Structure 1
């Protein structure tokens, strides 16, 4: 283990200090063993995204391309060995999981970066069922842009009644016509809505076709692992209902249309596959300049004639209900950065610009610190977070380690959803509520990665 200076220990993070003290960082040369349920080896590879071309220098969590779907069960402990064969440091964050702080995968805040040739074992017990995803939190823009996003499925203890479960990793790549990467970010775009990708994919494929048993019930798990795109998604054809958003069941299923998802968000959809062989259902990204077909689901074989009414309701996850009558209100303002701020160099990468801030303070980068939290909350206490967007751009605000409940907005009626990522619209003020039930320092940031990497990030502390 590398030596730890007093400055590095004084991260202002009880969670990080405890992780270091417990020897959470594996030493160089650590050998992953068969006792881990999953082994992820990060490395470069070439892969075909556009027909007839081979995209060079992609990144994946081997042994698979695209990154594998990690399946685990609610309430059961899991071990994941991450081996870094890249030529740069990395960490892995488990987006949406309410797990111990030392396993959250944020450089310096919860662990040291995993250097080239090093390994780290993540161990946790997922308390919630649903659809989650995983990605790096070091050199985040480039590593995600090159492919490092994967889906996690935490299965309910009891079978809900689906015939098939199909995760859909939805994301863009920035490729030129020759199938090679082009610039991942443009400063002008980073200071606005972000730099969009050029090729839309599902599971690293352009417009894939999936054959499904005619008349069957399929659970489609949509995970938007994109760097930037806020999109409206819709299933056309068949009978489909949205049953969960961001891993948590909806109070009542909704039609699978006009579904707005921002980077980091997920949606579970119950699909009744058409009964007629060859009949199709199509997943579209609705756009003002023309809809984009993402995937096609084709009915195959003789119908098994299932009915959506046969499915059991998804059980609620054990997220504590906030005590709104006694909740403390904390204000956050998201906007452009004050003049004069400059990013700090970091082994986890910097875009070289500072455009954004939270409460007029720009995150200086993934450094050892020490840094002050944006707010300190007491373990077990209820809070209302008042989120105000003073910019003309949307921001999907993600909080690590804790789930929160949508309360109200000055611009729209919010459903009573539990989530970990809330889309904050232009000039919107939104209130969300939570119970501070997970101790540690928790990253709090916009999931448009260019915004995060140019200042719109920080952390909240939950202390005993």
Structure 2
């Protein structure tokens, strides 16, 4: 079991283990003022009880990827040391930062070679729940464990007593703890290959002890390679308050929240009043639901109420001028044919099943293909996203945030996001201001799809 306190969660990193004499706020300031470090390494770790898994990969040498915490509007620098034995990069999923810090090999930086380091430095403009992962040899490195949580704390504290990041993902692990093949080609050409073991923070059905009657912010991120699922919080008083790092206009019940790889959800939970009472995080399934984690009340009740929380402040995203926006169209479909090039620098699955606008991404090379589209900095755009396949695709755009506008299949709320779930044969329109110059990766976040052609980039010209 894991005991969760406000103090521990605000620190959120082994780098602050020596700061136990500080207040949470002071500790945070120390953390934000100095460089943090990640050591990307291979390790043996136990996911299945009593059955260690060898050749896992992490952003830490001795366990799961750490939770990285920074503060909205404050400069943050992090040194990444590569000890994997192969190239890698780090992408900061959802952050609108300088293009040079985005972590896409050759598009924004050279790969971080084994035995070398790279210093990332940026100022996060938006508060919320994010995550980080490699963009080189992406499928294997993520499948072996390289997905971590990133929290940008609000400039103004909304009033939670504690906050708990939940890294939700599957592993493809057999009964003896061994890795299974990471994908099957026939699945890659369809919806993707699902994992076999459901985990939260690298644990199967963990129990978190939380103080009774307190207010906890559950930060959920689906860092899985494939799984599109529905998630519910049951057994306590709770509200969904944010999706994909942006506050909702009004809180709603946290029931059957649909999330695809790359998407996030923040839940405000009032812990039950009585010692031992539990709240459950459930993955809904057509047959038997799966319990992913439990939150157990401990101690005397603090008797706080959800009404005491302040609304989340909106992030400073520019509203597009839809009346004067330029329309660009993107079709997500099958590959026009041809074999995948041999040995791209950052790995290939050997197939080209998918494409955007009939162009299949060839892989990561020093001379990438031309951009799929070009936008002018400061102008407004409507992107029409058309899925001509019978499979779902979570479409992620780096470096920019867009507003959902309309769909030909369903009613959609006009929410801000960086990752939109495009359902089978759905056409969706989204609006944005092209306010961040650079070449921005644009791809499906089912990683098998990304690595077999369903990727490209958009250019924002300064």
TM-score scaled by length of structure 1: 0.92
SS in 2 for 1:49: strand
1:169-188 aligned within 5 A: 169-188=167-186
| 2:95–2:124 Cα contact (<8 Å) kept | yes
1:325-364 aligned within 5 A: 325-364=323-362
1:37-66 Cα offsets, whole Å, 9 max, x none, are 310000000000011111100011115521
CA distance in 1: counterparts of 2:359 and 2:155, whole angstroms: 43
Deviation for aligned residue 1:345:
2.2
1:219-258 aligned within 5 A: 219-258=217-256
Match of 1:108 in 2: 106
CA distance in 1: counterparts of 2:407 and 2:341, whole angstroms: 32
1:48-94 Cα offsets, whole Å, 9 max, x none, are 00111111000111155210000000000000100000110000000
SS in 2 for 1:41: strand
SS in 2 for 1:451: helix
1:385-404 aligned within 5 A: 385-404=383-402
CA distance in 2: counterparts of 1:342 and 1:140, whole angstroms: 16
SS in 2 for 1:388: strand
SS in 2 for 1:299: strand
Q: How many equivalent residue pairs?
A: 431
1:412-451 Cα offsets, whole Å, 9 max, x none, are 1111110000000001000000000000000000000000
CA root-mean-square deviation:
1.1
1:206-285 aligned within 5 A: 206-285=204-283
1:173-221 Cα offsets, whole Å, 9 max, x none, are 0001101101001000000000000000000000000111111100000
| 1:336–1:356 Cα contact (<8 Å) kept | yes
Match of 1:142 in 2: 140
| 2:107–2:368 Cα contact (<8 Å) kept | no
Deviation for aligned residue 1:342:
2.9
1:255-274 Cα offsets, whole Å, 9 max, x none, are 00010000000000000011
1:2-30 Cα offsets, whole Å, 9 max, x none, are xxxxxxxxxxxxxxxxxxxxxxxxxxxxx
Match of 2:162 in 1: 164
| 2:439 is equivalent to residue 441 of structure 1 | yes
| 1:77–1:126 Cα contact (<8 Å) kept | yes
1:242-262 Cα offsets, whole Å, 9 max, x none, are 111000111111100010000
| 1:211–1:300 Cα contact (<8 Å) kept | yes
CA distance in 1: counterparts of 2:110 and 2:339, whole angstroms: 25
1:38-53 aligned within 5 A: 38-53=36-51
Which consecutive unaligned segments of at least 5 residues does structure 2 have? Answer: 1-31
CA distance in 1: counterparts of 2:226 and 2:369, whole angstroms: 27
Match of 1:10 in 2: none
| 1:343–1:354 Cα contact (<8 Å) kept | no
CA distance in 2: counterparts of 1:188 and 1:385, whole angstroms: 30
Structure 2 vs 1, CA of residues 191 and 182 (structure 1 numbering), >3 Å: closer, same or farther? same
| 2:209–2:297 Cα contact (<8 Å) kept | yes
Deviation for aligned residue 1:289:
2.7
CA distance in 2: counterparts of 1:35 and 1:115, whole angstroms: 27
Which consecutive unaligned segments of at least 5 residues does structure 1 have? Answer: 1-33
| 2:90 is equivalent to residue 92 of structure 1 | yes
Q: Aligned to 1:313, which of 306, 311, 314?
A: 311
The answer to which of 151-160 and 342-351 deviates more is 342-351
CA distance in 1: counterparts of 2:442 and 2:342, whole angstroms: 19
1:321-357 Cα offsets, whole Å, 9 max, x none, are 0000000000000011112353442120000111000
| 2:376 is equivalent to residue 382 of structure 1 | no
Moved over 4 A (4+): none
1:142-182 Cα offsets, whole Å, 9 max, x none, are 00000001000000112110001000000000001101101
| 1:72–1:154 Cα contact (<8 Å) kept | yes
Deviation for aligned residue 1:36:
4.7
Structure 2 vs 1, CA of residues 57 and 329 (structure 1 numbering), >3 Å: closer, same or farther? same
Match of 2:27 in 1: none
SS in 1 for 2:140: helix
Match of 1:3 in 2: none
| 1:44–1:57 Cα contact (<8 Å) kept | yes
SS in 2 for 1:48: strand
Q: Aligned to 1:406, which of 395, 404, 407?
A: 404
CA distance in 1: counterparts of 2:341 and 2:432, whole angstroms: 31
Match of 1:13 in 2: none
